[in-house]
């Protein structure tokens, strides 16, 4: 995890995107004995969805590594409104 400079955490449910910096990741990892991004992903959940009693574990994680720091500036695309696709 040394090359990790940050993590993007997106909730698949509400589209909320959080970004953790290295220090925040370190504190998460240090407290829980986590060694991989995958393990970390299983521990994370969406606060907003959890508060609303919805599925909060539907999280996708985007790791940012030192080598692609420049490439990680891609804009976050907001998910479409839930009403879209209902063409009845
Ligand atoms: Zn959410």
Ligand 1 centroid to Cα of residue 81, in Å, is 14
pLDDT tens per residue, range 36-46: 878 888 888 89
Ligand 1 centroid to Cα of residue 51, in Å, is 9
Q: What pLDDT is stored for residue 28 in this prediction?
A: 80
Ligand 1 centroid to Cα of residue 75, in Å, is 19
pLDDT tens per residue, range 20-60: 998 888 888 777 788 887 888 888 889 899 999 998 889 99
Is residue 14 within 8 Å of residue 48, measured between CB atoms? Answer: yes
Ligand 1 centroid to Cα of residue 27, in Å, is 22
| Both structure tokens of 44 | 């994370």
């Amino acid at each position: 995890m040394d090359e990790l400079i940050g993590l993007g955490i997106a909730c698949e449910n509400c589209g909320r995107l959080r970004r953790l910096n290295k220090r925040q990741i370190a504190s998460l990892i240090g407290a829980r004995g986590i060694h991989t991004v995958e393990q970390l992903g299983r521990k994370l959940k969406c606060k907003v969805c959890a508060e609303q009693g919805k599925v909060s574990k539907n999280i996708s994680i985007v790791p940012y590594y030192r080598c692609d720091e420049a490439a990680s500036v891609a804009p976050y695309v907001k998910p479409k409104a839930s009403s879209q696709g209902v063409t009845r």
